[in-house]
Each structure stands twice: as C-alpha cells, then as structure tokens.
Amino acid sequence: MFTKTHILTAVVFVFSACQLQAGVIHSTWIGGTQGDWGEASNWSPAIVPDNTVWTTYVVSIDAYDYGIAVGIGQRYIIDQLVCRGDVTLYGPWYPVNLTLTEDGLVNYGDLYTANLDFTGDVKNTDGAELYLFDFFSAHGNLYNEPNATIEVTGRVMDIVDANIVNKGLICASSNGGLDADIEFLNSGRIELFGGEVSGDIFDNNSIGIIEGCGSLDSDQMLNQGIVYSVGGVLNIHSDGSIINTGVFGNKPLAILNISSHEGVDNQGTIEVNAGGGVAFDCNLVNEPNAVIKLLNGTLAATTITQKTGATFEGFGGITGNVVIDPNAVIKLTGPTNIVGDVEIKEGATLDISDGTVLVTGLTTCNGGTIKTFHGTIITQGGTSGGICRRIFVD
C-alpha cells in the first residue's frame, strides 16, 4: 500500500533522475583516424553528440598524433565544436548542416572541410589553418585571427547574412572564392591566385593588403590599405562607389581593372607601373592631396579629372579624356601618349618635360597654360577654345 510519503518520494526520485540527465556533456572523439559522426562508439561518452531538450554537447576532436577524418551524414545540433591538430570534416556529395548554438566552431589546428553548411560563428585562431574545399557555407561570422590562414579552393564559399573579419592570411586559388553577405573587413593579408573575394561592403583597413590576380566584388568599397595586381589581371568591381584613401596599383607586367557604377574617388595614391597598367571602366577623380604616379605604365579611365592640390606626375600612356581643373597641374616627365581629349581650364597647367606628349583627341584651352622644358606637345586631334598660354623653359 502506497502512502503519501511513498508517492512524494517517487516523484522526487523521478525529478532528480531528470535533473541528472539534463545539462552539458563534454564529448570527445575516440574513433581513430576515420569514422562517422553518427556512430556512438566513436565518442566518449558513447552517445552521438546531438542536442536534445535535456542535454547539449560541447564536442572536441583532438588529432595531435595523427590525422582524423570525420564523416557527417545528416544534420546535427551541438553547442560548440573545438578542433585541434589535423582534422577533416566532410559531408556526402551534397552539403549537410552542423548547427552550433552557443560558441560556434573553433579551430586550433589544421582543419579541412568539404560539403558542410555551418550555422554559427567560425573562428580560426592564431597559428591555425582552415582549408575550405568544395562547398562551405556558414550562417554566422567568420573570424580569421592574426597569424591564422584560410585557404579557399573549389566553389565560392558563402558567409550568409554575416561578416568576414580577416586579421590573418586568406588565400583564394583558381575558381575558389569567399563571399560575405554583409561586410568583409580586412586588416590582414589577402592573396589571390585566380580566386575571388567579395562582400556587400568591402573595407580594406589601413593595414590591410590585397595582392594577386582574380577578382574582388562589392556593392561599396573603401580601400584604406594597399591593393596591387600581381602576376596577371586583378578585377575590382562595385555596384556603388569606390573610395581610395590607400594605394591602388599594378606591379610590373600586371593589370588592375577597376569598375564602379558611381565612379572612383581617389583620395590616396594610384601607382601605374611599366608593362601593365591601371584601368578604370568609369570616371576617375584625383582629389586634393591625392597622388597619381605614372611610372611608364598606362592609366585609363572614361574621364580623368585633376583637382587643385592633387599630384599627377610621370610618363607613359593615358587613355581617356583628361580634364585639368582651375589652378590644378599635371606634370608629364617623359614621352606620353594621350588617347583622348584634353581640357586645360583657366589657371590650370599642363607641364611637359624631357619628352614628347602626343594628344590624339581634341585639345581645348580655356585660359590654361602649357609649359614645356626640353619637351614638346603634338595636338594631333586639333585644338579649340581660347589660345593657350605657352611657356617655354630652356
């Protein structure tokens, strides 16, 4: 016969048992060099890590002595995954989801991933290397810490509704790409070997470096750091504006192509080296205190506008119309071909030295000055407007 005391004791016992089952389980891989996530025998304790109402999992895969490859065949939900050493995580031929509800994926070693879709943040820590093969997406922020490396191959990898923050090194090889749905923040180094990086907003910080050949795409770009094309063609495109307060340039024999629906505002430096060039498929404005260095390469734009207080010096090739604003100066210090029109406004100066400048388009002088020192100008396309003030210096 059960008394009230017996019943109360039974209830307390059941409640206590439920409490014992609830909480966080720290799960460790013991499945050897290769195995399936869904096999309980591969884990200690021998339970497949997959959150329930009562139990959540913090999972560790430690591969200090040998490489470990873990196959993930279906969706699992855990609090956090920590990888150390040489670890490979892979889905089947189609991508599967691993949801990380609390602290995301943290990599301390060499982590290889393929055909996986992560929900949660991904952090690649100081000194770690993250290799993204085939399909990779993360519904969370991707952090690459100083001295860490991310290598991207295969298809474009998506960071969905989130940001990429790079303070280390990102390498994107041919046909590989990394796309941030919101913002790509670079204060580290990005090397492109035919690959692609993109973000709705792309911010290359003042200590950020981007080099190589491939493509960079955005809706809006601010370059405060250094961007060089190296070893081929680097294409930069923005559906909105591009503002440069850092350096845009090409290394010798390389080409930097830049296009923007709203034009490019140069407040920094544009460096145009020999054997290649920097081409803007839009208008280029060289703002006060900004610099264009023409170092025997070719500078191209729809229209190049030189503002008062800006520096434009060197020699080589110029393709596009050139407008020199009042009181502004362009100094051409060697043989230069200008394939386009030239307009020299009142008080403006075209300064030519040590070579011949050939203008294939129309030269319009509206109260401006052409100054020559051991140099000449050939206005092949004819002249219009008022008479240019000519200064000849011996």
Predicted local confidence at residue 22, as pLDDT: 54
DSSP secondary structure string for all residues of 189-223: EEEEEEEEEEEEEEEE-TT-EEEEEEEEEEEEEEE
Predicted local confidence at residue 21, as pLDDT: 45
Question: Is residue 156 over pLDDT 90?
Answer: no
The string of pLDDT tens digits covering residues 233-244 is 999 999 999 999
Distances (CA, A) of 279 to 135, 237, 246, 283: 33, 12, 17, 10
Question: Is residue 62 over pLDDT 90?
Answer: yes
Q: Is the Cβ–Cβ distance between 130 and 109 less than 8 Å? A: no
pLDDT band with cut points at 50, 70 and 90 for residue 394: low
Predicted local confidence at residue 13, as pLDDT: 39
d(C-alpha 213, C-alpha 231), whole Å: 6
H-type helices in the chain, by residue range?
A: 4-21
The lowest-confidence range among 9-18, 112-121, 136-145, 163-172 is 9-18
Burial label, 216 (beta-carbon count in 10 A; 0-12, 13-18, 19+): buried
pLDDT band with cut points at 50, 70 and 90 for residue 54: very high
Question: Is residue 93 over pLDDT 90?
Answer: no
CA 272, 295, 270, 284 torsion: positive or negative?
Answer: negative
pLDDT band with cut points at 50, 70 and 90 for residue 6: very low
Question: Is residue 12 over pLDDT 90?
Answer: no
Q: Is the Cβ–Cβ distance between 316 and 296 less than 8 Å? A: yes
- Hey, is 224 helix, strand or coil? coil
Question: Is residue 352 over pLDDT 70?
Answer: yes
d(C-alpha 368, C-alpha 366), whole Å: 6
Query: What average pLDDT score do residues 31-59 get?
Result: 97
Distances (CA, A) of 74 to 82, 136, 137, 299: 19, 15, 16, 53
d(C-alpha 188, C-alpha 168), whole Å: 5
Q: Which residue has the tokens 């923007």?
A: 260
- Which residue type occupies 129? E
Query: What average pLDDT score do residues 364-389 get?
Result: 91
d(C-alpha 392, C-alpha 371), whole Å: 6
Backbone angles phi, psi at 307, to 5 degrees: -90, 160
The string of pLDDT tens digits covering residues 257-287 is 999 999 999 999 999 999 999 999 999 999 9
Predicted local confidence at residue 17, as pLDDT: 39
CB pairs under 8 A, 24+ apart, for 71-78?
71/34, 71/35, 71/36, 71/37, 72/36, 72/37, 72/96, 72/98, 72/116, 73/36, 73/37, 73/38, 74/38, 75/99, 76/37, 76/48, 76/49, 76/50, 77/50, 77/51, 77/101, 78/49, 78/50, 78/51
pLDDT band with cut points at 50, 70 and 90 for residue 11: very low
Buried b (16+ CB within 10 A) or exposed e, 239-267: eebbbbbbbbbbbeebbbbbbbeebbbbb
Beta partners for residue 132, in sequence order: 113, 152
Question: Is residue 392 over pLDDT 90?
Answer: no
Q: Which residue has the tokens 């014992």?
A: 20
Q: Is the Cβ–Cβ distance between 381 and 360 less than 8 Å? A: yes
Query: What average pLDDT score do residues 317-340 get?
Result: 98
pLDDT mean across residues, the chain:
93
Predicted local confidence at residue 7, as pLDDT: 41
pTM reported for the whole predicted model: 0.91
